[in-house]
Amino acid sequence: MSDEHLTPAFTDADLAHRRAASRRLGWLLGAIVLVIYLIGLFIKR
């Protein structure tokens, strides 16, 4: 992880921020799927 070459645009702080963002997005997507699933339980055909 200590490669200093290429993509200098990403600092360690930046990458840490992205880690947090990907975790939040994961929970959000999981919640959306759960909600869709729960709604599906109440739909009668």
Residues contributing to the site for other proteins (CB under 8 A):
1, 3, 5-7, 10, 15-16, 18-19, 21-23, 26
CA atoms of 3 and 20, how far apart (whole Å): 21
Closest approach, Cβ 9 to other proteins, in A, equals 9
- Cβ of residue 16: shortest distance to other proteins, in angstroms? 7
Closest approach, Cβ 27 to other proteins, in A, equals 10
DSSP 3-state of 27? helix
Cα torsion angle, 30, 33, 35, 41, sign? negative
